[in-house]
Amino acid sequence: MSADSAGRVVSEPIPGSTQRGVVLVVDDDADQQDLLRVFLEGAGYAVCLAGNAEEALALIAANPMDVVVLDVVMPGIDGFAACRRVRANPLTLDLPVVLVTALNSREERVLGIQAGADDFLSKPVNREELLARVNSLVRLNRARKALEKERLEAEAAKVERMRATFERYVAPSLVERILHNPDASSALMEARRVEDVVAMFADLRGFTRMCSTLNVEASVNILNSFFTALVDITRSYEGTTFGMAGDSLLVGFNVPVAQPDAPSRAVSSAVDMMTRFRPLARQWQDDYGVDVGVGFGINRGSAIVGNVGAPSHMAYTLIGDAVNVAARLSQLAGAGEILMSVAAVGAMSALTQTLGVEKMPLTSLKGKDTPVPYFRIMDNPGLESALAKWKASHVMQVSS
Does pLDDT of 303 surpass 90? yes
pLDDT band, very low/low/confident/very high, at 314 (cuts 50, 70, 90): confident
CATH number for the domain running over 2-147? 3.40.50.2300
Secondary structure element (H or E) that encloses residue 283, with its range: helix 262-288
Class of domain 190-392: alpha beta
Burial of 14 (0-12, 13-18, 19+ CB in 10 A): exposed
**pLDDT tens for residues 171-219?**
777 777 777 765 555 556 678 888 999 999 999 998 878 777 888 898 9
pLDDT in tens, 374-394: 999 999 888 989 898 888 887
Q: Mention every residue, 6+ apart, whose C-beta is less than 8 A from residue 239.
A: 171, 200, 251, 252, 253, 265, 266, 269
d(CA 26, CA 101): 12
201: number of Cβ within 10 Å: 26
Chain segment 50-69, per-residue pLDDT in tens: 999 999 999 999 888 999 99
Give me the pLDDT at residue 400, please.
Answer: 42
Instruction: With CA atoms as reference, report the closest residue to 398 among 183, 165, 171.
Output: 171
Q: How far is residue 362's CA from residue 366's CA, in Å, rounded to a whole number?
A: 13
Q: Each residue of 96-120: b (16+ CB within 10 Å) or e?
A: bbbbbbeeeeeebbebbeebbbbbb
Give the whole-angstrom CA distance, residue 355 versus residue 271: 9
Amino acid at 393: S
With b meaning 16 or more CB within 10 Å and e meaning fewer, what string describes 303-321?
A: bbbbeeeeeeeeebbbbbe
pTM of the entire structure? Answer: 0.64
Q: What is the pLDDT of residue 5?
A: 44
- State the Rg of the chain over Cα: 35
- Contact 209/265 with Cβ under 8 angstroms? no
Q: Which residues of the chain are in CATH 3.30.70.1230 domains?
A: 190-392
Average pLDDT of the chain is 86
Dist CA 120 CA 132 (whole Å): 11
